[in-house]
């Protein structure tokens, strides 16, 4: 990996993550929220129904590393069904590192599912590692599983702002990583609930029938382009995968450095030979077609 701006030179994912301090930026009302996802050149979030084919090994390394930095990891039910999640941090060495950093060994797994359409046989529930918190609008009872599962019910639909407030006020969650899917990402951005974005822009094209990145979010682009709303923090990249890190400016938020405010973009470029995927922290998505917000499964 090679950093391009503002200080050209060699770097690595580990180096970038070592300097990533998020907890001090949490407000009293909700956790500090970061997102991580990959999209194709034509703005699609999946290929043949899965997101894994879009990113690279470096993208995966960044995702795994981000999981070691947060108190909770949020996913939508559709992503859980498609990706069949297991233990969020399966590596015991990484769990030990979390403990050394003052975190619990396993981040809290947070699932958003309007209908409680959950694959209860996924390893996330059967392996018994870590705790799972589900926000749903369904009255259906959850079965007993190998994991400790708590269900929080909302009326009508899952209210994301209220969910984040519950995580912060009741459980002390300071930092949260959202891994998607695209509808959940779009709804969080639309509601102004995302503080940083980590996005891999891969050199691949998906079929036109694949859902676009933000079908539910007409004004996400406008929010992200809003003057003064975002400053630039640290970045990283690997093998022709530049990473940029815009940070949402929030009143009273701590931890945004003077360097971040000065620098319009911090990009890193790696010399990997993986056909030129681009990873950006703080991507401005193109608006999707007008649509009422869909219900998360």
Does residue 161 lie in a domain region? yes
| Segment of 71-80, 237-246, 272-281 carrying the highest mean pLDDT | 71-80
The answer to whether residues 236 and 267 touch, using CB atoms and an 8 Å cutoff, is no
> Going by DSSP bridges, is the β-strand pair 268-269/2-3 parallel, antiparallel, or unpaired?
antiparallel
Does residue 119 lie in a domain region? yes
Same domain (yes/no): 49, 93: no
For 45-65, how does the pLDDT look when each residue is reduced to its tens digit (9 = 90+)?
666 656 666 666 777 788 899
> Going by DSSP bridges, is the β-strand pair 72-76/196-201 parallel, antiparallel, or unpaired?
unpaired
Same domain (yes/no): 159, 203: no
Same domain (yes/no): 254, 268: yes
pLDDT > 60? residue 279: no
Same domain (yes/no): 149, 268: no
Does residue 49 lie in a domain region? yes
Same domain (yes/no): 135, 150: yes
CA 69 to chain centre: 12
The reported pLDDT for the residue numbered 253 is: 45
Q: Quote the percentage of the chain above a pLDDT of 90.
A: 44
Does residue 294 lie in a domain region? no
What is the rounded average pLDDT for all residues in the chain? 75
Does residue 25 lie in a domain region? yes
The token duo for 208 is 């036109």
Domain boundary among the residues 173, 193, 227 is at 173
pLDDT > 60? residue 281: no
Mean pLDDT, residues 19-35: 91
Domain boundary among the residues 173, 199, 218 is at 173
Range of the domain at 225: 1-71+179-288
pLDDT band at 273 (very low <50, low <70, confident <90, very high): very low
pLDDT > 60? residue 277: no
The reported pLDDT for the residue numbered 107 is: 98
Same domain (yes/no): 98, 115: yes
Does residue 18 lie in a domain region? yes
Same domain (yes/no): 279, 207: yes
Same domain (yes/no): 190, 284: yes
Same domain (yes/no): 155, 227: no
Rounded CA separation 256/270 (Å): 26
β-partners of residue 178 are 35, 74
Rounded CA separation 186/223 (Å): 11
Does residue 78 lie in a domain region? no
The reported pLDDT for the residue numbered 5 is: 63
**C-alpha Rg value of the chain to the nearest Å:** 18
CATH code of 125's domain: 3.40.430.10
| Least confident interval from 71-75, 237-241, 290-294 | 290-294
Same domain (yes/no): 117, 253: no
Same domain (yes/no): 52, 92: no
Rounded CA separation 107/173 (Å): 10
pLDDT band at 195 (very low <50, low <70, confident <90, very high): very high
The reported pLDDT for the residue numbered 92 is: 96
The reported pLDDT for the residue numbered 254 is: 44
Peptide bond into 99 cis (omega under 30): no
Nearest to 214, CA basis, from 168, 262, 181: 181
Domain boundary among the residues 173, 197, 224 is at 173
Does residue 296 lie in a domain region? no
The reported pLDDT for the residue numbered 207 is: 60
* Phi and psi at residue 127, to the nearest 5°: -80, -20
The more confident residue out of 207 and 132 is 132
CA distances from 294 to 5, 14, 182 (A): 39, 37, 11
Same domain (yes/no): 99, 150: yes
CA distances from 188 to 85, 163, 253 (A): 21, 11, 18
pLDDT > 80? residue 251: no
The more confident residue out of 164 and 229 is 164
Q: What total number of domains does the chain contain?
A: 2
The reported pLDDT for the residue numbered 58 is: 73
Mean pLDDT, residues 199-206: 70
The answer to whether residues 51 and 37 touch, using CB atoms and an 8 Å cutoff, is yes
Residues in the chain: 297
């Amino acid at each position: 990996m090679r950093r391009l701006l503002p200080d050209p030179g060699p770097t690595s994912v580990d180096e970038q993550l070592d300097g990533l301090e998020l907890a001090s930026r949490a407000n009293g009302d909700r956790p500090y929220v970061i997102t991580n996802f990959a999209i194709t050149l034509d703005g699609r979030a999946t290929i043949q129904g899965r997101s894994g084919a879009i990113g690279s090994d470096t993208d995966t390394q960044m995702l795994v590393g981000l999981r070691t930095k947060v108190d909770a990891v949020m996913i939508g039910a559709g992503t859980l069904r498609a990706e069949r999640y297991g233990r969020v941090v399966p590596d015991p060495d990484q769990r030990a590192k979390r403990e050394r950093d003052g975190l619990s060994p396993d981040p809290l797994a947070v699932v958003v599912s309007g209908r409680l359409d959950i694959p209860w046989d996924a390893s996330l529930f059967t392996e018994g590692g870590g705790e799972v918190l589900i926000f749903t609008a369904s009255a259906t009872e959850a079965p007993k599983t190998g994991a400790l599962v708590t269900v929080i019910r909302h009326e009508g639909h899952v209210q994301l702002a209220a969910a984040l407030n519950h995580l912060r006020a009741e459980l002390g969650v300071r930092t949260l990583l959202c891994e998607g899917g695209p509808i959940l990402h779009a709804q969080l951005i639309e509601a102004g609930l995302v503080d940083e974005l980590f996005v891999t822009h891969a050199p691949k094209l998906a079929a036109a029938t694949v859902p676009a990145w933000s079908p539910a979010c007409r004004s996400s682009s406008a929010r992200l382009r809003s003057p003064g709303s975002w400053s630039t923090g640290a970045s990283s990249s690997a093998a022709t995968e530049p990473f940029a890190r815009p940070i949402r400016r929030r009143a009273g938020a701590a931890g945004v450095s003077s360097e971040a405010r000065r620098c319009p973009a911090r990009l890193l470029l790696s010399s990997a030979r993986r056909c030129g995927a681009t990873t950006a922290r703080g991507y401005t998505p193109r608006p999707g077609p007008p649509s009422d917000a869909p219900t998360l499964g």
